[in-house]
Each structure stands twice: as structure tokens, then as C-alpha cells.
Structure 1
Amino acid sequence: MPAPLTEDQVRQDGAALLDAAEALFYEKGVRAVGMDEVRAASGLPLKRIYRLHPTKDDLVVAVLRRRDARWRGRLAAAVAERTGPREQLLAVFDWLERWFAEPGYRGCAWINAFGELGPASPAVLAEVRAHKEAFHRDLATWSRAAGLTDPAPVHLLAEGAIVTAAVTGDPTTAARARTAVETLLSAAGH
């Protein structure tokens, strides 16, 4: 009988599983990736995978939740590097452009998951909505600090740039969205 797993081993296994699943889901899509492929990529037995995440939907939610913390953390750090509310808001679009130019960029992981699973998975749908609401709250905070009373156009420009860059493969969609935000700021007298 094998020795029980230590807490450290469970953490390591959990991280390896999420790393493998995230890479596969983002590159190939959730539906295209079977659990045997996740098992092979993670190096974990299926029994351990299902002990960590009893269903594929649970695994998708865990991947999206961890990605959200990392993604929004990196965005917030990029914004915090700038001085002044106007420059901080514009930093969002500079950061998006760098993200769009990364090798393997396939768009928004949450939109991709929603596109594949939609309302068929309430847990995934809830995680997608939670990410979008948090991203929009962040954008609203930065927009209002920069003097825009209505952050909705900034949300639409950011989301549109994310989707357009994925479809076209052109990272400069972020620069065009940035220019539009500059126009909004100028019109608001900022």
C-alpha cells in the first residue's frame, strides 16, 4: 500500500495538474482535451486527478480561477507602475498589447470557455461572469479616477480589443483602443 500523500505533495500535484490543464485548454480548447491527455501532460494518475477535481468542470473552474488571480494581478501591477490616473488607465491598453503579442496568444480564456461551454456548465459560466465583473470593476475604478463618468465605453474597447486581437492575430488592436480612450479622455477634458 502506498504511503499517504503529504500536504506538500498534494499542493505540488495540484499545481502540476492546473499547469497542464491550463496549457492544454488554452491551446486546444476545453472540449478538445480529454482527461487522458490531461493525465499524460500532468504525469498524475487519473484517480489522483479526480480526487483533486471530481469533474472536468471543476478542473476548468479551478484553472480559470487561478488564471484570473494571475492575469488581473499582472494587469494591476502594470497599471501601478504608472503615475497619474490618466496614464494608469492608458497603461491597461499598453499591457493588453504586450499580452496580445505573446507567443500562443489565443484570446480571452474566459470568453473561450464560455464559447465552448456556455450555459451548459453553470459553474464555468459563474466563473466567467465573476472574472468579467472583476475586470470591469477594475476598469471602472481606473476610468473614474481618470475623470470618465461612464466606464462602459472603456469596457467595450478593452473587450473588443481582446477578441479582435485573437481573431486577427494583430496585437495593435490594443493601440487603436488606447487611442479611442485618449479621445474619450480629451472629450471629458482630461
Structure 2
Amino acid sequence: MDKKADFMKGNAFGLLVLDLLIGAGASAIPSGSLRIFLLNMLITITGLSLARYWWKTVPGTVRYNSLVTFIMLISMGFFTVTPLLRITNDTLLFWPVLLLYLLVLCYSLFKKELIFQAFHRPEGSKIALGTFVFLFILIIIGAFSFRNGQELLIMKMLNDNEGAFFISLMLFGIGLLVSFISSAMLKRPEDIKS
């Protein structure tokens, strides 16, 4: 890695910008929360500090960039699942939602090799196919949420609480997907077989 290069060029800048945008946006759903915003910014600062440490200690640009991308994806995944956790807080749905997120995250970390191989060589991989199908479903549902004139097609059928739940549910799905694929970034470049 070129130690003369500026730290904030590349993935560290992406980590900062995406975490600021997604962290701030997620803290506003279902309603603005200064505590959640500050928690998200603390996670962003921690991620940047870790990226700075890796920038000084990790040899090789590829490994450094993949580690920073992992931090970026994990934090984005956490930020996007928190709105649904906030909405379901104090309900019976909170624990199943939290458990689902933790199970996806743990499965992803324990099966990082399998997930990496699914995207490195996707032909015939059930994980890659399932991920693409899940992403396609999210895109289709999101397409029905786009503007039709001044109204959102799905959102105009929902009241404020239902709309916040719908958006939180969509973000939760995106968060699960991002958290699931994040572990593929932990693969060491020297272990990748072409």
C-alpha cells in the first residue's frame, strides 16, 4: 500500500459518506431520534477509526479496501435494520425481527467462505441465485413504490404509521441482504483461487 496516499481517498471516504447519509436517514424513520442519530455517528466514527488503523497496519491495498468495505456494509446493514427494530420495540415482533437479523449476520460470518465462493463463481450456486431472487423481489416491490404523478403507488394506500412500517420493512430487507453479503469481503486476496 502506498503510505503517501491520502487516507480519505477511496473506500474510507465512501465509508464516511455512506454511513453519514444512511445513518442520518435511518435515524429519521419512523420519526427523528437524536439518540439513534448519535449512535449511528458513533458507529461511523468507530468504523473510520478502525479503517485508519488498518490503513497504517494492513499491508496491501486490496486487503485494506476489502476490510473497509466489510465495515461499510456491516454498518449500512445495521443502520437499515434499526427502523424496523424501533417500530417493533415494545411489541411481540421485536424479538423475532432482532433474532432474524442476528441469525443472518451470524450465518454470514460463519459461512463467509461459502458466500464468497457463491459470488466468485455464481454458476449453479443456490446462495447466489437466492440472493438475486431476493434482490429482484425488493426491486419489484420498490418499483411499485415509485411516484405516479405526485403520489407513491403503495404509499398512497397506507396511512402514516403503515407507510413508516412499509419503508422500515423494505429497509430491513435491504439490511439483511447487505449484512449477508458483507462477509465475502473478509476473504484474503492471497486465498482467492482463480
TM-score by length of 2: 0.31
Q: Which has the higher contact order (CA 8 A, sep 6+)?
A: 2
